[in-house]
A and B are shown apart, each in its own frame.
Chain A
Amino acid sequence: MEETDLIKGLQNKSHSAINYFVKLHQQFIFVLCVKMTHQREVAEEITQDVLIKCIKNINAFEGKSKLKTWVYSIAHHEILNYLRKNKIPTTELTESIPVVDNEKNILDTFTDKDMKLMIEYFFNQLPADQKELLTLFYLNELSLKEIEAVTALSAANIRVKLFRARENFKNLLSEKDVTLLNQIRYE
């Protein structure tokens, strides 16, 4: 369905347009929500709320960006609202995690089985804004321009924040130890 037809359909509350719109956008919103909140039920609820809000306010879409980018920016604000309501810090409050000088390729020190556990665990230790940037960039594969439109940050700022998020993540992974790995395994 063409974007213009889809928007017209949503304005007219057409069954097929709503169905198409939801199926097109639900998965990527859910991915962002689940990574930011780390709770499946909450992520599903926010996804639903975002889609309903987009459909209700479709007349507010001015066409300056792609529809997908507009939907993403609404999701971004809804998630931030949720985090603020639940008093979860949305930006990095502490200094960056110190660099661990590890010349070896960090990933070589993990076994395949532990890799997913450790990566997920340390990803959730990151501040919310860094989690969001990493999710949008690596998982949702948005371009810098699209991330700019979603987060209202400048491209230069995004580059630096993205690099910092990635470095923090890498440094967290460098600090892994066997005790922690066992704790995570048996949680």
Chain B
Amino acid sequence: MNKHLTDIEIFEFSHQLLDDATQLVVFNQHLATCETCQLKVEEEKSFSKTIQNNLSVNEKIDVSEKVLSHFQTEIKPVFIDLKWTIYTSIIVSVIYMLSTIPNFIDVAFPKIENLNIFISAVFLILMVDVVVKYIRFKKMVH
């Protein structure tokens, strides 16, 4: 291909908009030997980057509260959801299984003192979480 690439071809090539594989090969072959077209492709890419950087919208928006309040009457309040139930069950099961293996705790956690206090704290946090969820659920129902 001896002809230079047209402006639209430069644009399509730079943005990978070409879906014709044969055409792509031909363009690549031409660009390998034509500095003028290479420069145009680089300029196109640079122009695109500048547009993106200077037109970008940096402001963040959050309309979640407004949208949720629109569906207030339709949203079914949930006390405890499935995900929380699964995660809590796994945590409790793991702690229970580890504590039933006689020497495991002494071997695996030789340096942790007051392990019982740590485990109790985990259960306490879970209980507090349940109470908070219940209070929120009651508020939504009323």
B43-67 Cβ-contact flags toward A at 8 Å (1 or 0): 1001110111011110111111011
A93-125 Cβ-contact flags toward B at 8 Å (1 or 0): 000000000000111000000011001100100
A52 near B67: Cβ-Cβ < 8 Å: yes
Distance from B68 Cβ to chain A, minimum over Cβ atoms (Å): 6
Give chain A's interface residue range (CB within 8 Å of chain B): 35 or more
Q: Which of A43-51, A70-78, A80-88, A178-186 contacts B (4 or more CB under 8 A)?
A: A43-51
Residue of chain A at shortest CB distance from B62: A26
A23-43 Cβ-contact flags toward B at 8 Å (1 or 0): 100110011001100001000
Give chain B's interface residue range (CB within 8 Å of chain A): 20 to 34
B71 interface residue, CB < 8 Å from A? yes
B47 near A107: Cβ-Cβ < 8 Å: yes
Q: How far is the CA of A98 from the CA of B61 in the complex (A)?
A: 38
B7 near A30: Cβ-Cβ < 8 Å: no
B17 near A144: Cβ-Cβ < 8 Å: yes
A2-16 Cβ-contact flags toward B at 8 Å (1 or 0): 000000000011111
Q: How far is the CA of A107 from the CA of B52 in the complex (A)?
A: 13
Q: How far is the CA of A42 from the CA of B50 in the complex (A)?
A: 27
What 3 pairs across the A-B complex have the smallest Cβ distances? Answer: A119-B54, A13-B74, A22-B64
Residues of B at the A interface (CB closer than 8 Å) are 7-8, 11-12, 15, 17, 43, 46-48, 50-52, 54-57, 59-64, 66-68, 70-71, 74-78, 81
